[in-house]
Amino acid sequence: MTGKMSAPEDRIAQLESRISLLEDRLAILDLIASYGPAVDGMDGGALAAMWGENGSYDFGGDPLVGRENVAALIDLDTHRAYVSAGSAHVLSNPRITLEGDRAVVVNYSQVFTKAGDGWRTDRTCANRWELRRTADGWKVESRTNRLLDGSEEARLLLGGRHSLR
């Protein structure tokens, strides 16, 4: 047999490649969607499982570095106040750019808190997530989150080409 694939073999290889891409995208969607329930449910284990060992989360100020430090954000006074008031961390459907075993994800996030008989938005942010495929699935290497307050820093997270630095 020559090195060239037959038409059926070529189609199967193309389908396998497309299925693999779809599986990656679904796994990334599941990963991003798991953030809100983890933090609102005060589930540090679920939050830690999202991040790589040395992953970071920069939401302004000093970034949290290391999966255990990221998971400990549920113990911050500000976070406990959100949860005690009734909170919902809601993330938008992300834009995903895949580059082999790495991905860049850009989305919005909002934190809603209970206010009387209704809800109010406390934070609306731009997010850039950098992910890596590991033996345990996709993990967060870094997440940068900035308030959408008109600042250039927040706009830069959303705009331009989203390749890995």
The answer as to whether 165 is a domain residue is no
Residue 138's contacts (CB-CB under 8 Å, 6 or more residues apart) are 24, 27, 28, 31, 103, 131, 132
- Is the pTM value of this prediction over 0.75? yes
Q: What is the pLDDT of residue 4?
A: 74
φ, ψ for residue 159, nearest 5 deg: -100, 175
The answer as to whether 139 is a domain residue is yes
- Assign residue 44 the CATH number of its domain: 3.10.450.50
Q: What total of structural domains would you count in the chain? A: 1
Q: Closest Cα partner for 47 from 83, 95, 22, 101? A: 83
Per residue of the chain (165 residues), give pLDDT as tens.
556 778 988 899 899 999 999 999 999 999 999 999 999 999 999 999 999 999 999 999 899 999 999 999 999 999 999 999 999 999 999 999 999 999 999 999 999 999 999 999 999 999 999 999 999 999 999 999 999 999 999 999 987 555 555
Domain that holds residue 64: 7-158
The answer as to whether 164 is a domain residue is no
Residues in the chain: 165
Please name the helix (run of DSSP H) or strand (run of DSSP E) that holds residue 125, with its range, or none: strand 118-134
Please name the helix (run of DSSP H) or strand (run of DSSP E) that holds residue 124, with its range, or none: strand 118-134
